[in-house]
């Protein structure tokens, strides 16, 4: 049953376990006792591995944003065409989101909680870079004539980023595969719903 893990793997396993709970209920709504229960230990024993509940959240969030930003940077570095860049952003995001469901649930549910604390200042920094990347690509698309000239880039960015991050919370039923969602999203994005 209890397979003996390597020293540092044990810690990563606990983060994984906590993340699963955060993804389902959010960060604040998850108690340290629930995390401990999932690991089969008592709540106090968690503090042998972490110095606070927040630092577990910190580990999850910073790992997520690192991956996301890496994906964004690669997307705009490798491609000159804005449409291809956006498509690349969407694909890398979707891959990241399915791997970091916990982080996104935390950002959606507990943004107020985290963004207020100095410790999580990097959240705002990362969001700024994400926003700027989107807006740059949308502006470039307008200039090349690929996107509508009357597009409000900031409004469109907010809509698109949030849309992109939505399906992660569709925990309820695994009705659609990741590929299906990407496909539907990109079609909707570029073509709308009209025939």
Partner DNA sequence: TGGTACCAAGCAAGCGTTCGGTCAAGAGCG
Partner DNA sequence: CGCTCTTGACCGAACGCTTGCTTGGTACCA
Q: Which residues bind a second copy (CB under 8 A)?
A: 24-26, 28-29, 108-109, 112-113, 138, 141, 145-149, 151-152, 154-156, 158-159, 162-163, 166-167, 170, 175-176, 180-181, 184-185, 187-195
Closest CA to 97 of 188, 152, 170: 170
Q: Closest CB to DNA among 113 and 165?
A: 113
Q: Least distance to a second copy from the beta carbon of 97, Å?
A: 14
CA distances from 40 to 2, 8, 43, 44, 156 (A): 10, 18, 9, 12, 46
CA distance 65 to 20: 17
Site mask for DNA (CB under 7 A), range 51-90, x = bound: xxxx------------------------------------
Q: Least distance to DNA from the beta carbon of 158, Å?
A: 31
CA distance 99 to 89: 15
Q: Which of 25, 26, 32, 131 binds DNA (CB under 7 A)?
A: 32
Q: Residue 86: which H helix or E strand, with range?
A: helix 82-99
């Amino acid at each position: 049953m209890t397979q003996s893990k390597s020293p540092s793997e044990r810690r990563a396993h606990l983060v994984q376990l906590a993340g699963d709970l955060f993804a389902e209920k959010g960060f604040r709504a998850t108690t340290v006792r629930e995390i401990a229960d999932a690991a089969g230990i008592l709540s106090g024993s968690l503090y042998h591995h972490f110095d606070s509940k927040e630092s577990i959240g910190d580990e999850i969030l910073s790992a997520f944003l690192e991956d996301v930003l890496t994906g964004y940077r690669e997307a705009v570095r490798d491609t000159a065409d804005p449409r291809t860049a956006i498509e690349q952003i969407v694909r890398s995001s979707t891959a990241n989101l399915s791997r970091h469901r916990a982080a996104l649930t935390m950002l959606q549910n507990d943004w107020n909680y985290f963004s207020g604390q100095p410790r999580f200042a990097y959240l705002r920094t990362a969001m700024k870079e994400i926003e700027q990347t989107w807006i740059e690509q949308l502006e470039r698309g307008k200039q090349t004539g690929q996107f509508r000239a009357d597009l409000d880039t900031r409004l469109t960015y907010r809509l698109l980023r949030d849309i992109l991050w939505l399906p992660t919370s569709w925990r309820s039923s695994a009705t659609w595969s990741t590929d299906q969602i990407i496909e539907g999203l990109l079609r909707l994005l570029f073509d709308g719903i009209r025939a």
